[in-house]
């Protein structure tokens, strides 16, 4: 049993001063000002920020491992622990467009990871292969394809979890989107050249969000609003943003954050294998990727995921004064939980808020510079 004392608590909605958070059996047991007995191990937060653990809906790898190649439980555990040390206590392993034979192996291993309740693993993100080859980014064009019935039969093997799939709305049928929605996939648009009308139709069907907004999608134009325009003009969709300053400029983010409420933005890392290591290069497929000046690029200069963590993204948007502190903290966790329904009754665990009966996923941040002080995952002190 654990008690965090003297907390400047951000519960996911508001700040509360001088609170105590009592943790028992991996859950938030109570939040109060009552005195803790000697049976409670204590952490003195010293009036620093205590907030929900970060939730990342787009993690390609970390700790030297890449999910497309990580087909062992041990690999997945190492990726999970790497991100936990940076405050990401829950995430979606992301499998990008690849050889058709590799996805079944990944789904099998992923299902095992969920059954074993590996800390941090709450769902899956399939980024492709049903995307637009003209906006492929680092994705291998030879593996981009249209969906078939056999593809969907494979997707149905994913056990109950929080599921995201990134598709290009103009490259799949309305019927396929409806099948995904009926099978509890959160459908995001990404790697797409969808027109405003195509995107609008997709949103009306139930497309919930945009994968890495501004990157690999149709832009806002004078005569064609594109994906960006559809996102801004519709209240419902969320958007992931990679706030590293390379994928999208901070001034551009400032513009869009003035156009739409911050609660619809989710900080994502798009992290690749070298995160948390000293690797200076790695491979995606057979292509060599280089670590240069805080970004990952191939020989032609194409960005290949990011070197980011959610914690770094948080510090970046605060340093550039894009949003308030409370809005920034929501973008690290609460918004993702709201988007996917992780903050509502489910079989995996309530996350994204610090409230009684929610999972004890907690980050303690220095209130002046927002440096990480402690990470608690399911009631266990990670760092």
- Give the active site residues: 270
Tokens of 202: 């997709």
Asked whether the bond before 129 is cis by omega within 30 degrees of 0, the reply is: yes
Alpha-carbon dihedral angle through residues 110, 111, 116, 122, given to the nearest 10 degrees? 70
Per-residue burial over 342-370, b if 16 or more Cβ lie within 10 Å, else e, is: bbeeeebbbbbbbeeebbbbbbbbebeeb
Beta bridge partner(s), residue 59: 93, 271
Q: From CA 75, how far away is CA 266, in angstroms rounded?
A: 26
- Tell whether the torsion through CA atoms of 208, 214, 219 and 220 is positive or negative: positive
Burial status of residue 81 (CB atoms within 10 A of its CB: 0-12, 13-18, 19 or more): middle
């Amino acid at each position: 049993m654990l008690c965090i004392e003297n907390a400047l608590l951000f519960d996911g909605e508001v700040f509360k001063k001088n609170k105590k958070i009592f943790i028992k059996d991996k859950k938030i047991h109570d939040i109060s000002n009552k005195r803790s007995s000697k049976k409670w191990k204590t952490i003195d937060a010293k009036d620093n920020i205590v907030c929900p653990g970060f939730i990342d809906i787009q993690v390609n790898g970390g700790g030297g491992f890449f999910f497309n190649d990580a087909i062992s439980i041990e690999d997945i555990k190492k990726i999970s622990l790497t991100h936990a040390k940076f405050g990401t206590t829950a995430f979606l392993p992301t499998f990008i467009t690849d050889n058709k034979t590799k996805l079944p192996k990944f789904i099998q291993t992923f299902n095992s990871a969920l059954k074993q309740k590996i800390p941090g693993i709450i769902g899956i993100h399939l980024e492709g292969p049903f995307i637009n080859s003209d906006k492929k980014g680092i994705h291998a064009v030879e593996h981009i394809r249209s969906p078939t019935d056999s593809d969907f039969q494979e997707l149905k093997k994913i056990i109950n979890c929080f599921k995201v799939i990134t598709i290009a709305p103009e490259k799949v049928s309305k019927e396929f989107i409806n099948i995904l929605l009926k099978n509890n996939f959160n459908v995001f648009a990404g790697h797409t050249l969808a027109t405003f009308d195509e995107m609008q139709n997709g949103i009306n069907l139930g497309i919930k969000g945009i994968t890495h907004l501004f990157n690999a999608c149709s832009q806002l134009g004078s005569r064609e609003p594109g994906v960006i325009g559809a996102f801004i003009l519709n209240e419902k969709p969320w958007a992931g943003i990679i706030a590293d300053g390379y994928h999208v400029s901070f001034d551009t983010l400032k513009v869009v954050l003035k156009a739409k409420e911050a609660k619809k933005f989710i900080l994502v890392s798009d992290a690749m294998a070298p995160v948390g290591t000293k690797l200076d290069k790695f491979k995606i497929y057979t292509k060599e990727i280089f670590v240069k000046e805080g970004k990952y690029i191939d020989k032609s200069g194409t960005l290949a995921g990011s070197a980011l963590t959610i914690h770094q993204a948080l510090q970046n948007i605060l340093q550039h004064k894009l949003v308030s502190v409370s809005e920034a903290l929501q973008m690290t966790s609460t918004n993702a939980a709201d988007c996917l329904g992780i903050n509502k009754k489910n079989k995996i665990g309530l996350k994204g808020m610090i409230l009684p009966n929610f999972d004890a996923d907690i980050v303690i941040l220095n209130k002046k510079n927002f440096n990480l002080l402690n990470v608690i995952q399911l009631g266990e002190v990670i760092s």
